[in-house]
Amino acid sequence: MERYDVVIIGGGVVGTALLYVLSRYTNIEKIMLIEKYSKFGQVNSNKNNNSQTLHFGDIETNYNLEKAKRVNEAASMVKQYLKNCDKSVYIKTHKIVLGVGHEQVELLKTRYMGFKKLFPKLKLINQSEIWVIEPMVLEGRDKNEEIIALYSDDGYGVNYDILAENFVKNAKKERSVEVKLNEKVEKIIRKNQGYEVITSKEIYNSKLVVVCSGSHSLLFAKSLGYGKELGILPVAGSFFGTKKKFLNGKVYTIQIERLPFAAIHGDPYVDNINETRFGPTAKVLPLLERHNYFTVLDFLKTSVWNFIGIISLFKILFDPIIFKYVLKNVFYDFPVIGKRLFVKEIKKIVPTLKYSDLEYKKGYGGIRPQVVNWKKMKLQMGDAKIYGENIIFNITPSPGASVCLKNAELDTRKILYFFKENFGENYLFYEKKFKKDLLYPIK
């Protein structure tokens, strides 16, 4: 049986970014990627299942300055990569975050003073400037209402499933990497200082394994004895859309404090700028993949079904702010009443939008794998990465797609460390080439 150096499990934008970085910026030879679907990026990387946004941290008001610095550095690598992609992968757009009312206006003013050095293209704009950029945001609004916005013309809408395909295409240009589609990984077994990866079609032997399969990454980790204190709280997002253009770019609202879930926003579709999408809603569903009800059992395996785990989930969900938010979002999926309730939310962005303008986007929306540490009885914010013996597990809630190349760099460096420490093999990382290609000069 042929032995691979690295096997990557998962063909979303995170797994394919790693395939690209390993093939172009190292001299590792035997690399394989395994994806269970017939195409790349069909779960959370699919354009219908995420916000289609490249997050930098400038208008995401749930990011503090330190997190914004990290996300900006990582997202700028994707921005640099996109320069060589065609327009099927992304659209260039502006983006704003609205502050309505005295409290929010003051919050944005304070944020601008703290963030303008990190984001020199960020501007604080008044009503007359908003009118020029996004007239529907002001039309029908009370003229005495206090409103300002943070604005940047450096926004990107990204079709992440096509980006995943692009990563694979460019990886294949570098070397003869192997890619397996329509092949589901059923089990990973520790064997001979490496691993056997058992799929629906074959058994593969590899020195190192990197699991990039979202929520399922924790399922594989637990099967090998890692991440026992973690569970997944699957938060499903849904979207509503319009048949005509209401917004010219991305318009965000201010994040609700203490909520890890995205604030309501509106933006053009990445593949149709003449229609507008609003969302996401958020509700808890016992699934690891949206619209795939066979993953209920997987959810039960990755969740925290012990006494302390159940107590921790109740403690999180019955936090007054989270409980009120989740309960309200449940009603958005109800026929008729759900749309009526959601129109009230969208009017915070487009005051003149009517019930008849909106339609529920059936089949849209993904699952955010919100990690729960049941021992600490709290949500674990940001992404999660578990290191084992010659194995890495990536669990990547938002902004996982935006930081995919930075994540690939971190994984690549760890992989080279594993080879050196555990196999005595000194593979090379082409640092200068990597920096020249991807390190966007942040000014």
Greater confidence, 11 or 319?
Answer: 11
| 205: β partners | 3, 196
pTM: 0.93
- 24-56 pLDDT, tens digit each: 999 999 999 999 999 999 999 999 888 899 999
- 70-117 pLDDT, tens digit each: 999 999 999 999 999 988 999 999 999 999 999 999 999 999 999 999
Per-residue burial over 328-364, b = 16 or more CB atoms within 10 Å of its CB, e = otherwise: ebeebbeeeebbeebbebbebbbeebeeebbebeeeb
Place of tokens 């019930």: 355
Cα dihedral 304→408→186→306 (10° resolution): -10
* Closest alpha carbon to 43 in 286, 295, 341, 261: 295
* Closest alpha carbon to 19 in 326, 408, 429, 437: 408
**Sign of the alpha-carbon dihedral angle for 253, 83, 172, 2:** negative
pLDDT of residue 233: 82
Q: Are 233 and 313 in contact (CB under 8 A)?
A: yes
Give the mean pLDDT of 127-155: 95
- Considering just the CA atoms, what is the radius of gyration of the chain in Å? 22
- 260-293 pLDDT, tens digit each: 666 789 999 999 999 999 998 888 888 888 888 8
Q: Are 92 and 269 in contact (CB under 8 A)?
A: no
pLDDT of residue 223: 94
Residue 441, pLDDT > 90, answer no
> Rounded distance, CA 269 to CA 245, Å?
10
Place of tokens 């916005």: 149
C-alpha pair distances (Å), 26 with each of 31, 172, 406, 432:
11, 14, 15, 12
Domains and CATH numbers, the chain: 1-52+159-227+381-443 (3.50.50.60)
- Percent of the chain predicted with pLDDT > 70: 95
Alpha helices in 134-270 (DSSP H): 135-138, 160-174, 215-223
